[in-house]
Amino acid sequence: MSINLDELERLAKAASEGPWTDGGDGDLVGSLGQPLIKGEYGYEGYFAWDEDAAYCAAANPTAILELVAEVRRLREDAERYRWLRRRDLDTIDMGGLFVGLVPDNLVINDIDLDQSIDAARAKEKL
């Protein structure tokens, strides 16, 4: 499954404001205390607003688990980048992993690394 983030975002913005809470007895309650699911005959319920039903359908367990897995992958990638970004400029003299800028033969880190990556990515988009 591939999550359509734009559609999930649109649906979330159209739904009742959160956070939503469990009001007990199967009631789903919005942040202003309004019932989001109206009970019928004491055991059946339906969504009070179509936008909330559409959002809940889109934010199903499969979609949420996929988002959780993606966030974990992104956090791991971000931590790798932060580790590389924090490398000491003397790493080249001490040996080890570093980022260099050629043909200038410069070891770069921190904001210089960020700017160099952004510039290189911008050139590739042209």
* Structural domain containing residue 105: 86-126
Cα dihedral 70→73→79→80 (10° resolution): -140
Query: Is residue 73 domain-shared with residue 90, that is, in the same domain?
Result: no
Question: What pTM, to 2 d.p., does this model score?
Answer: 0.67
- Over residues 55-94, the pLDDT tens digits come to 888 888 888 999 999 999 999 999 999 988 888 888 777 7
Q: Say if residue 59 is in the same domain as residue 90.
A: no
Q: Tell me the sheet residues that pair with 47.
A: 37
Q: What is the pLDDT of residues 8-22, one digit of tens each?
A: 899 989 988 878 887
Residues 14 and 55 grouped into a single domain: yes
Q: How far is residue 5's CA from residue 52's CA, in Å, rounded to a whole number? A: 17
Closest CA to 100 of 91, 42, 2, 59: 91
67 plus 17 within the same structural domain: yes
Same domain, 14 and 71: yes
